[in-house]
Chain A
Amino acid sequence: MDAIASKSISSINLSIYRYDPDSGKKPFMQDLSIDIPEGQDIMVLDLLNMAKEQDPSISFRRSCGEGVCGSDGMNINGKNGLGCITPLSEALKGNKIVLRPLPGLPVIKDLIVDMKQFVDQYKKIKPYLINDEEKPEREIKQTVEEREKLDGLYECIMCGCCSTACPSFWWNPDKFLGPAALLQAHRFISDSRDTATEERLDQLEDAFSVFKCHGIMNCVSVCPKGLNPTKAINEIKKKLVKRAL
């Protein structure tokens, strides 16, 4: 709030990536000048909504507006993040902001990317509890400590900010699972109720799925939920190595 007020910025220069394959035109950057309310630190998504009032053809995904649904992952002044919880005070460079689609995935239109590769990798890790034992009538018991192992893993909102910030994922989006899917893999490996740990590790044991992570931690620096996929990936690597010894 203060950052904007002190600079007394009332108009923002927004540069936004535009592309509609049906138009026959190449992608281009559209420049818009947008007046913002004084004294309020609005979010990037608010700015986009104002831009859409000027030009209704600008396309982007959005839903909850509070950083929980994961719709509005985008590249904001060079860094991936969620439009709805990134305040302008944090994102602005001078009075300029550049918005592009998440890098590395095919663009459907404007800021909307095709998430298929991302979701396919997620599906590969069997993202559901596997438990072949007979179920109790009540809950399967889990201690507070066992449950704590899922903290930092289950909160992923599948926005795609991490995997699309990862050079290994850019290079091998079909063979390297990417940070988001691997975080989920570790979520199920860590769950005391899951009985398929060995099968899950078997599936990850190749040169690409996990080991293409070189630990550069872009995923950690962009995760809007403050999660740490690199740590989860290292835990998986350790388990795989330990098993092989």
Chain B
Amino acid sequence: MAMNGKSEELDASKLKVLEFDGIVVGGGGSGLMASLQLAQSGFKTAVVSKVFPTRSHTVSAQGGITCAIQSADPDDDWRWHMYDTVKGSDFIGDQDSIEYMCQEGPKAVFELEHMGLPFSRTEEGKIYQRAFGGQSKDYGKGGQAERTCAAADRTGHALLHTLYQANLKAGTNFLSEWFAVDLVKNGDNQVVGVIAFEIETGEPYFLKSKATVLATGGAGRIYQTTSNAMINTGDGTGMVLRAGFPVQDMEMWQFHPTGIYGHGTLVTEGCRGEGGYLVNKDGERFMERYAPNYKDLASRDVVARSMMLEILEGRGCGPDADHVYLKLDHLGPEIVHKRLPGITELSKTFAHVDPVEHPIPVVPTCHYAMGGIPTNVHGQVLTQATDGTDNVVHGLYAAGEAACVSVHGGNRLGGNSLLDLIVFGRSAGLHIENALKDGITLSKATNDDIDQALVNLNKVNISSTGEDVATVKAELQKNMQLNFGVFRTGDLMEKGLVELENIREKTQNIHLTDKSSRFNTARVEALELLNLIEVAQATAVSANERKESRGAHARDDFQERDDENWLKHSIYFADTKEVTKRDVNFRPKTVQAFQPIVRSY
């Protein structure tokens, strides 16, 4: 029975049921890596994606996959990569996870190459690697490393298409253009599937599964200016919070230094890796002042803050002095066209400049959520008991940007997101595969359990008066941009929190005017707004609570890092709207832990 204007409330008896061994919500890099692992092993696997998989936001990743594959440098070492990542995280990345990612990375990268990913090549025919921010040799002592494996400046596109193709070969079931609404949780707090509807028909389903992977990506659309696709609305995060499970480190949002001014579209850090640099209105290469050693290749939080300081102190470019320039024209057409062809296109389209001749106007743009759904290295979702111990949520996994396994901590290094999603998408798939082989028994969901997961959908469907979705969304985005941006301060955040409570009230009272069943994008956008508000509040509460400056979280009223109190993850539950702390892992298995030091570049 499709949803339409005449439909009464949905309940468990009105849903069609489909059953799988494993379902993956989200068709980006991490989701397709997990589904590939399962489908290749012969398990009945479905990818539930609100867009056709190659439309997922992984496709926009430009620069590459950072990984010590020893192509550019035969002496490169995954431990150096680990050191950089721990330092980049401002020491709240979990060291067991970072160790796993850096060590397992090369295997995953070569697997992708064998699948056909069209990496750029070196003269010796090996995978091409370029320099990226925050990369060093010999634990920070050996100078800039070149560790980011690239397919020109279209690595995400090449990666996503390769994975989609491999999944076709493996026989994965694609439920393309299906929208997952909420998790179905049984009486034992286990997850046994999701409620979803086929967007084309409006037909609602209970998708039953022994294992559910949330690979729903980022939520940059909580901000006004973002590099994120319009689909990045934190759907998995919303689902987890509504199901009563927590999220971690949600205050940690990366603002990427080089968003195209006025639009937010990204130009890759690879521009600076290839020799580009930033200048202010005086033509000064200002990063030399802020990061004497790494200059324009300091980590992203450092570069974004330096840019904002230049602008705030009156040295910005343009009539309103509100951006800076990224200079590439000195590199010559050969490098720009060969290594950065996509950037040339984007720059011409959105900034109306040819980077071979003119610098690109840029400003920091919201780019990436370091925080997310807490997991262990196997992708198993964790919740926190009242005494502070970690508990595994049975049946539920998360991977990629939606998850927080925490390899990025307070700040992600460029090229580590693609590595994160291939390594942990794969490890979630492997864990589920083994669990399925051993036999998974979860107790059944009752009709009441299923009805619980239909509450939001029903609310939207039967609304007859109330707030306009687009208006409320715009208010939410403006509030986050103004009060929870690159620089934060207690007063503004308090104000922002009050405003967010009002906005939440409005989201609980939205009116879906178009109740039609067929490809109703208005219904999808209304449900996305209910996810955005969960992410925004988690971000706001956690940001206000973390009373220090660390990584991407920079407070004017607490300018120093406070290791004594805040060398911790923040954990946020939606029902209490309170933040607790969780220990950071300092127990890697094969190397000594890296202890916190002053972080300079």
Which residues of A line the B interface, CB within 8 A? Answer: 1, 20-23, 41, 52-53, 56-57, 59-71, 85, 87, 108-110, 112, 115, 119, 123, 126-129, 131, 135, 137-144, 146-147, 150, 154-155, 157-158, 188, 191, 193-194
Contact of B116 among A20, A61, A70, A193 (CB under 8 A): A193
Contact between A22 and B69 (Cβ–Cβ < 8 Å)? no
Residues of B within 8 Å of A112, CB to CB, are 519
16 contacts between A and B (CB under 8 A): A1-B352, A56-B469, A56-B513, A59-B521, A63-B230, A69-B57, A70-B54, A70-B55, A71-B55, A126-B169, A128-B165, A138-B110, A139-B69, A139-B71, A143-B121, A154-B118
Please name 5 further chain A to chain B contacts, defined as beta carbons within 8 Å, in addition to the given A63-B229, A63-B231, A139-B114, sorted by A numbering: A22-B4, A22-B517, A59-B520, A131-B114, A137-B110
Residue B547 interfacial (CB < 8 Å): no
In the complex the two chains form, what is the Cα distance from A146 to B115 in whole Å?
17
Separation in Å of the A9 CB from the closest CB of chain B? Answer: 18
Of all chain A residues, the one with the shortest Cβ separation from B57 is A64
Contact between B118 and A150 (Cβ–Cβ < 8 Å)? yes
Contact between A20 and B516 (Cβ–Cβ < 8 Å)? yes
Contact of A57 among B116, B469, B522 (CB under 8 A): B522
Contact between B60 and A155 (Cβ–Cβ < 8 Å)? no
In the complex the two chains form, what is the Cα distance from A29 to B521 in whole Å?
19
Contact of A22 among B124, B470, B513, B516 (CB under 8 A): B516
Residues of B within 8 Å of A143, CB to CB, are 121, 125
Separation in Å of the A119 CB from the closest CB of chain B? Answer: 8
Of all chain B residues, the one with the shortest Cβ separation from A19 is B518
Contact between B120 and A147 (Cβ–Cβ < 8 Å)? yes
Stretch at the interface among B154-162, B326-334, B376-384, B501-509: B154-162
Q: Tell me which residues from 105 to 129 in chain B have a Cβ below 8 Å from any Cβ of chain A.
A: 110, 113-116, 118-127
Residue B594 interfacial (CB < 8 Å): no
Residues of A within 8 Å of B445, CB to CB, are none
Interface size class of B (residues with CB under 8 A): 35 or more
Residue B346 interfacial (CB < 8 Å): yes
Take A22-B517, A64-B59 as given contacts and tell me if A154 and B121 are in contact as well, using a CB distance cutoff of 8 Å. no
Residue B345 interfacial (CB < 8 Å): yes
Q: Tell me which residues from 1 to 26 in chain B have a Cβ below 8 Å from any Cβ of chain A.
A: 4
Contact of A59 among B71, B158, B229, B519 (CB under 8 A): B519
10 closest Cβ contacts across the A-B interface? A129-B116, A141-B125, A128-B165, A57-B514, A69-B55, A109-B519, A56-B522, A139-B113, A64-B229, A63-B229
Residues of B within 8 Å of A140, CB to CB, are 113-114
Contact of A66 among B71, B115, B118, B265 (CB under 8 A): B265
Contact between A155 and B154 (Cβ–Cβ < 8 Å)? yes
Separation in Å of the A148 CB from the closest CB of chain B? Answer: 9
Point out which of B55, B158, B265 has the most chain A C-beta atoms below 10 A from its C-beta.
Answer: B55
Residue B591 interfacial (CB < 8 Å): no
Residues of A within 8 Å of B55, CB to CB, are 61, 63-64, 69-71
Contact between B157 and A61 (Cβ–Cβ < 8 Å)? no
Contact between B522 and A68 (Cβ–Cβ < 8 Å)? no
Q: What 0/1 readout, one digit per residue, does chain B (71-82) give for beta carbons within 8 Å of chain A?
A: 100000000000
Of all chain A residues, the one with the shortest Cβ separation from B117 is A129
Q: What 0/1 readout, one digit per residue, does chain B (246-275) give for beta carbons within 8 Å of chain A?
A: 000000000000000000010000000000
Contact of B51 among A61, A108, A188, A191 (CB under 8 A): A61
Residues of A within 8 Å of B349, CB to CB, are 66-67, 85, 87
